[in-house]
Amino acid sequence: MIDIHCHILPGVDDGAETLADSVEMAKAAVDQGIRTIVATPHHRNGKYENTKNEILHYTNNLNEKLVSEGIPLIVLPGQETRINGDIIDGLAKDEIMPINEFKYVFVEFPSEQVPGYAKQLLFDIQVVGYIPIIVHPERNREIIEHPSVLYELIRKGALSQITAGSICGKFGKNLQKFSHQLVEANLTHFIASDAHNTTSRGFCLEEAYHELQKQHGNEALYMYRENCELLISGKTVNRDEAHPVKRKKILGLF
């Protein structure tokens, strides 16, 4: 398996604190059947920077450590950039790290809302040759309350990635239900762990794929797993036509 969103680099954000922590995370990933991980440290989220050159340096160091420890895991460079008005400039200055140095860029929204300029910025990112991937939209309060916000962004060319823990119910039943609604509406295209450690924020990626297969069938399972392979190779990923989320009525209420 390939995990495209993970905070495994040591001492750079709120993920692994030490190199020993990174090694433990790598072992846990391998135990789940993960063989490739994209390291996606936070960038411009108000606390962490982690520019492209720094990420490449730390990723190389971690890969060397994993080889010396005999751990069969490859770590690729990536970045989780909090949405801000300087993203286009950051791409031009080579500060932002596309996933594995190709054309896909992770964009994180604040947890409570989607900035008013998001639609234009995600379009501008595409104009300069990159494809934005909205990370964990199922955990954004505005999107939960108004899924049409995500629908419009996906319809205009953005992609999205949901969290394995959300699909598995680790963040509660309501978030789990909403995540499955996003899958049904073709409003998301990847599943990833967003793991930060081996305890409170672990991987559960294998469990998530099992849940995906159980709820949505083999075709969805194969598509999501293939999309991760296409992503790290910089190739065009699979995407079906997006639809608005269908709210099911209960006793006449949504």
Sorted by where each starts, the structural domains of the chain and their CATH numbers stand as 2-232 (3.20.20.140)
- Pairing type for strands 131-135 and 36-39 reads unpaired
- What's the confidence (pLDDT) of residue 252? 39
Closest listed residue to residue 223, CA positions, set 210, 235, 234, 237: 237
What pLDDT was estimated at residue 46? 82
Region at 146 (left for phi over 0; alpha for psi -120 to 50; beta for the rest): beta
CA 231 to chain CA centroid, nearest Å: 11
Predicted local confidence at residue 248, as pLDDT = 58
SS3 at position 65:
helix
Other CB atoms within a 10 A radius of the CB of residue 239 amount to 14
The CB density around residue 43, as the number of other CB atoms within 10 Å, is 26
Tabulate helix, strand, coil % of the chain (nearest 5): 45, 15, 40
pLDDT at 251: 36
d(CA 162, CA 242) in angstroms, rounded, equals 15
Q: Tell me what pLDDT residue 45 has.
A: 84
Tell me 40's DSSP state. Answer: -
Distance from CA of residue 83 to its chain's centroid? 14
pTM for the predicted model, two decimal places? 0.95
Sheet-wide strand order for 74-77: 2-6, 36-39, 74-77
In whole angstroms, how large is the CA radius of gyration of the chain?
17
Residue of 169, 73, 178, 251 lying closest to 160 (CA atoms):
178
**Pseudo-torsion of CA 20, 65, 62, 75, nearest 10°?**
-110
d(CA 110, CA 141): 9
Q: Which of 6, 10, 99, 91 is nearest to 44 (CA)?
A: 91
**Angle between helical axes of 52-69 and 19-31 (0-180°, round to 10):** 70
pLDDT at position 71 is 98
Residues of the chain with pLDDT under 70: 247-254
